[in-house]
Amino acid sequence: MRATVEKIENRRATLRVEVEPEAVARALDRAYRHLVRHVQIPGFRKGRAPRFLVERHLGKAALYDEALEHLLPDAYRRAVAETGIEPIDQPELEIEAFSEESGLRFKAEVEVKPEVELGDYRSVRVEVPPATVTAEDVDRELEQWRQLHATLEPAGEDAVAEKGMVAVLDLAGTLDGQPIPGGRAEDYSVELGSGRLVDGVEERIIGMRVGEERDIPVTFPDDHPEEGLRGKTATFRVRLKELKRKQLPTLDDDFARDVAGVASLQELRERVEKQLTRLAEERVRAQVRRQVVERVVAGARLEVPETLVRRRVEERLATLEDQLRRQGDDLEGYLRSTGQTREQLEESLRRAAEDDVRTDLVLDAVAKAEGIQVTDAEVEAELRELAAALDEPLPKLRERFRRLGLMDGVVANVRRRKAVDRLVALATGQPAASEAAAGQASATAGARAEAAPASGAVPAQARDDAQGDAAGPTAAEAAH
């Protein structure tokens, strides 16, 4: 096979590819052997008819189409590898000749990566701040532990709502006498003074008694997602159904044994301090990596292709739709609740998408300049982590990624992460996380494992980051 780049202008390359007649003959033979298994010709068992009868029965074009279906993509991939161009979109193919005698000749026009003019990225310097954890930090963390293990006890029928109590409410919002969509909730629990409800609502509940109802006006902000509510004042009928008092456990050795299985409160403090320090170090690493990448990207010059930006916007939309499906919602419902059109949503995603694409292209250029390679072991480790995160058997995930053409993306992600590692090492004079773990199976697996909390006591901050707020917002909360 012979492949040449005829021209590259306006980030579009034209390839001319010639495949020798012998390769075409082999492709046609494979096509015949595939088709003969699926055609019944009188006088022959299935799979036994000679080629000339198969051609006569199906038409010669069917045989050539079948051969081309496999030969053309393979020839294009080999031409891309041979010429070294970097396509970012599907090619436009034009067959110029295709026969068993003359072989295959075709032209492929495709958009390619833009040239990236890197700045002096090796001179970027970033100071690594210390990861400090104070006794007050440990105290705050342990207080969160107390809050997490608090019990709720009925405050009594004669209790009056006060700050710190947990109120169980029925809420119903109306605007101009009409119910507000999504503005109704029953048995909604909120700690008074926590700020979960829109400003002013919790304060108006304080002083109420169990069984009491009260109309509370709520003025929606001018930038509220629901256009029909912006700047308008609604009324929420609030019924206080129950009051509970929070009983906090005593912070002592018994507490340490109950919640963390350690012998003493002092041992719990030491464990929490160690884990908070690990989290602080991880935050510092993330901050340094972000600063280094931002500076390197800012120093580079390139044209961001609209093709890649559009694709990244579509990926972000697909991710959003998947999240909404898992929450029992859909994109149409989301658009209605946020008061925007699909076009407006796509436009709001463009800035982040453009930044993502620019960063990826710059990191790819750094990886190329630094000669960064990705090993099979690193790809395998990345797949193993993905399989664990998706709770999918590794062989099944590997096969799915290969079938869908996702393996190149896995390799690219590992390469970019290694490029960031190299940049961080240059900017700080310290080995990056994955370089420090080079002796492990994956260059990144060690860094990720280092960030994972040990078994036993898990800092509340880490739990909050992972879980988020389990309770969905009411209309009153959404009025923020």
Question: 90-131, pLDDT tens digit by residue?
Answer: 999 999 999 989 999 999 999 999 999 999 999 999 999 999
Please state the separation of Cα 350 from the chain's center in Å.
Answer: 16
What is the mean pLDDT of the segment spanning 372-389? 96
Range from 4-13, 385-394, 431-440 carrying the lowest mean pLDDT: 431-440
Q: Is 70 exceeded by the pLDDT of residue 456?
A: no
Between the two ends of the chain, the Cα-to-Cα distance in Å is 64
Q: pLDDT at position 92, please?
A: 94
What is the mean pLDDT of the segment spanning 274-288? 96
Strands (E), 76-118: 92-99, 103-111
Q: pLDDT at position 433, please?
A: 57
Computed on alpha carbons and rounded to an integer, the radius of gyration of the chain in Å comes to 31
Q: Is 70 exceeded by the pLDDT of residue 474?
A: no
CA distances from 94 to 6, 104, 322, 468 (A): 14, 11, 37, 52
Confidence of residue 200 (pLDDT cuts 50, 70, 90): confident
DSSP structure class, residue 112: B
Q: What is the pLDDT of residues 285-309, one digit of tens each?
A: 999 999 999 999 999 999 999 999 9
Q: pLDDT at position 115, please?
A: 92
Q: pLDDT at position 436, please?
A: 45
Share of the chain above pLDDT 70, in %: 89
Each residue of 164-186: b (16+ CB within 10 Å) or e?
A: ebbbbbebbbebeeeebebbbbe
Decide if 52 contacts 36 (C-beta within 8 A): no
Q: Is 80 exceeded by the pLDDT of residue 58?
A: yes
State the average pLDDT for the chain.
Answer: 85
Q: Is 60 exceeded by the pLDDT of residue 348?
A: yes
Q: Is 80 exceeded by the pLDDT of residue 189?
A: yes
Confidence of residue 207 (pLDDT cuts 50, 70, 90): very high
Q: Is 80 exceeded by the pLDDT of residue 462?
A: no
Question: In 10 A of CB 91, how many CB atoms?
Answer: 19
CA angle 78-81-83, nearest 5°? Answer: 105
